[in-house]
Structure 1
Amino acid sequence: MPVTYAFWNNKGGTGKTSLCFQSLAFYAKQNPEKRVLAIDVCPQANLSELLFGGLTGKGSDTLLARQNEPTRRTIGGYFELRMPNPYRAPSIDPHVYISHPADYNANIPDNIDIIAGDPILELQSNAVSTLANNQIPGTSPWIAVVDWVRDLIESLGDEYDTIFIDANPSFSMYTQVALASADRLVLPVMADDSSRRAIQNAFSLIYGLKLPSEIYTQYAFATKLRAEGRTLPKVHVIAKNRLTQYVVSASAYTAVLNSIDADVQSLIAQHKDMFSAKTAEDVMVEIRDFQTAGVVSFARGCPFYAQKPGRMDVMGKRVQVKGEYLQNCVDSVQSLVDEL
């Protein structure tokens, strides 16, 4: 079975989609013998737009075309297949939902495929939650629904070596479906106090730590998943994202960054089974602010390694990407990919 990485934080704006895009492109480029699948389980579908060409490459038009096919070539299309008979896996042809980004975006490695995101997930959310929370004697509706993405991955067999999942910044039912299928978690955080709280919230939501009351324990994601004999994804990387481009941890952020490190080290000491590494140093990576290089990269759907420094036109505006800053971006992403 493939190794599956989920990029998630329930706090928005931490850069999870941008890091997922860059990481999977770098990883695929550096491992051409491996087949890589991206699954975009986010109704914003920004990862899909980037892989399909970004703003300047009409990535949104390509994505819209996938959504308008007779069978939606998206994760939402797959959920539509499951909803009429949600508790029993049907005969699944996963290729119906898979697209090949390199057909639309020459910047993307040929060994990447994607199951695209879909805004219809928001419309499906209430129905999926209702289906999961039904009470049916002799069966477990919740685990049957939570296994939807897992079923999809299993239907692919050994076709892919590595899977990258971009999950929505929420803990809605479709996010739980995504996280339950993952082996490893990449958790982007910002260098501020809100991210300290976000780490604590993430561990409460996924692992059931420090819940405000015992009342919530029986309903916790971790409790319900473990009751079905399932393992939880292990925290593999915590990416301290968007550090200033000019200085890194020796800055005004130092106290907060050190506090985050201390929090993570304490969590590792108390809950070793929740991490894939033994020390905070092995879990944490620092990602510099992408600045103009990031704006250009994401507008063009172009990974940093394929981007050129210098002046270029982006949507009618001339912008300059400095070589030094671009190299900083490459080095930052590489530090994350080295941990995968």
Structure 2
Amino acid sequence: MAIYAIWNNKGGVGKSYLTFQLASEYARQNPRKRVLVVDLCPQANSSSMLLGGMEQGEARLTQIHTQQPRRTISGYIEDRILSPYVSPNSGAGYITQVSHYNNAVPNNVYLVVGDEQLEIQSSRVSSATNPGPQDAWRIVHLWIRDLIVDVQNSWNDEDNCVFIDCNPSFSIYTELALTAAERLIIPFSADGSSKRAVKAVLALVYGIRRHAGDTQSEFFLETERYRMAQPTIYMYVGNRLTQMNSSSASAFRTVVSEIGKEIWEVWKTTPQFFCIHPGSASTPVSQKAFRDMFQYEVNDANTASVVSGALGIPIASLTAGQKPVAGRNISVNQSQLDKQVPNIRDLVQKIE
């Protein structure tokens, strides 16, 4: 069992799309394991895709959001606001078996549905960290870990894997996700702002100063104070990278290389921030070996990527041909699928 947070301190890198694909493909490759997705992003994009995509998924989200009691992440957070320092052990009551709504997703995928109400609740969650008992900050920051433990207990601790889709901003919910996770997957796009965002991840979570004298984040300082484990970096993933003409490919390759160098420098000084992959031959001693273990790239399947998310059909299960999207027939070519499907399958094989 492992718990993965999927996060970068930047929107638009496709973290929800990646969560959707990873969870679905991991479940397909591991049919005897249960897969739990915890959607901690108020936009609930990964929930929408898992539940059926742009139209059906949104309609099902509305249906779930309007039911009472509210069986979403916000329903669980409300439970915790009412009982901030003693777990109500209610987490198992907030999971949804995805295949009940979307049979394109394997039946061993379960979801704590995302909810825009998280935005409204965030100030109340932050308020629970102070005042309170002496270790209020630590207790509140373990709420999502408590939720996952509740679910795993209800499954009799059977083998499972957890993916947490995070809010891109460094909000209280991002902090709760990171204290729940054991491993961190950092998606990025091949642009300069992604490089800055990766630097922000390293600074905010691991306290790595960009400049001498920089103030470290409260999250880093408090996790150090309470000796709470931070998630170790499992992989950084260039997500839906564009492949066009040779000049475009060269430009993208340059940016990917620069991001890789940034993370390589962190490895050289603080390898304890990284998770050596189970079953790997050895600890990397060269930049190439490091890149082979920790860097991965997922090509953009262009129209096929859009259709996969819009219809809630995992890319590995999507077939070529005409697909109905928002009242129009959109053509998916096999060549588009061939760009991304092998990437997703291979990436999942690297996940424990």
Residue matched to 1:310: 321
Q: Name the amino acid aligned to 1:313.
A: P
2:335 to 307, 324, 330: 324
Instruction: Give the 3 Å change call, closer, same or farther, for CA 339–291 of structure 1 in structure 2.
Output: same
Instruction: Give the 3 Å change call, closer, same or farther, for CA 291–140 of structure 1 in structure 2.
Output: same
Instruction: Give the 3 Å change call, closer, same or farther, for CA 306–215 of structure 1 in structure 2.
Output: closer
2:147 to 148, 152, 155: 152
Within 5 Å, which residues of 2 pair with 1:58-77?
Answer: 58-77=56-75
Cα distance in 1, alignment partners of residues 269 and 218 from structure 2: 19
1:85 to 80, 83, 86: 83
Q: Name the amino acid aligned to 2:111.
A: I
Contact 1:245–1:290 (8 Å) recurs in 2: no
Residue matched to 1:242: 240
Unaligned runs of 5+ in 2: 277-283, 285-289
Cα distance in 2, alignment partners of residues 118 and 176 from structure 1: 17
Within 5 Å, which residues of 2 pair with 1:1-340?
Answer: 2-56=1-55, 58-90=56-88, 92-132=89-129, 134-136=130-132, 139-156=134-151, 157=153, 158-159=157-158, 161-210=160-209, 216-217=215-216, 220-246=218-244, 250-277=249-276, 278=284, 279-340=290-351
Unaligned runs of 5+ in 1: none
Cα distance in 2, alignment partners of residues 152 and 305 from structure 1: 30
Q: Deviations over 1:157-194 (max 9, x none)?
A: 21551011101101111110111100111100111111
Cα distance in 2, alignment partners of residues 173 and 160 from structure 1: 29
Q: Name the amino acid aligned to 1:3.
A: A
Cα distance in 1, alignment partners of residues 106 and 350 from structure 2: 20
Q: Name the amino acid aligned to 2:64.
A: R
Output the aligned Cα RMSD.
1.8
What percent identity do the matched residue pairs reach? 38
SS in 2 for 1:332: helix
Contact 2:128–2:136 (8 Å) recurs in 1: yes
Cα distance in 2, alignment partners of residues 211 and 173 from structure 1: 23
Instruction: Give, in angstroms, the shift of residue 254 of structure 1.
Output: 2.4
Number of paired residues? Answer: 334
SS in 2 for 1:252: helix
Instruction: Give the 3 Å change call, closer, same or farther, for CA 54–113 of structure 1 in structure 2.
Output: same
Q: Deviations over 1:132-172 (max 9, x none)?
A: 1x144x52111111010011112232155101110110111
Q: Deviations over 1:300-327 (max 9, x none)?
A: 1000111111222222212211101112
Instruction: Give the 3 Å change call, closer, same or farther, for CA 215–250 of structure 1 in structure 2.
Output: closer
Instruction: Give the 3 Å change call, closer, same or farther, for CA 318–272 of structure 1 in structure 2.
Output: same
Q: Name the amino acid aligned to 1:66.
A: I
Cα distance in 2, alignment partners of residues 251 and 216 from structure 1: 36
Query: Which stretch of the first structure deviates more once superposed, 100-109 or 205-214?
Result: 205-214
Contact 1:207–1:221 (8 Å) recurs in 2: no
With normalisation by structure 2, the TM-score equals 0.90
Instruction: Give, in angstroms, the shift of residue 223 of structure 1.
Output: 2.2
Q: Deviations over 1:65-90 (max 9, x none)?
A: 22222221111000000112212222
Instruction: Give, in angstroms, the shift of residue 215 of structure 1.
Output: 7.4
Instruction: Give the 3 Å change call, closer, same or farther, for CA 131–213 of structure 1 in structure 2.
Output: farther
Q: Name the amino acid aligned to 1:301.
A: G
Cα distance in 2, alignment partners of residues 42 and 146 from structure 1: 16
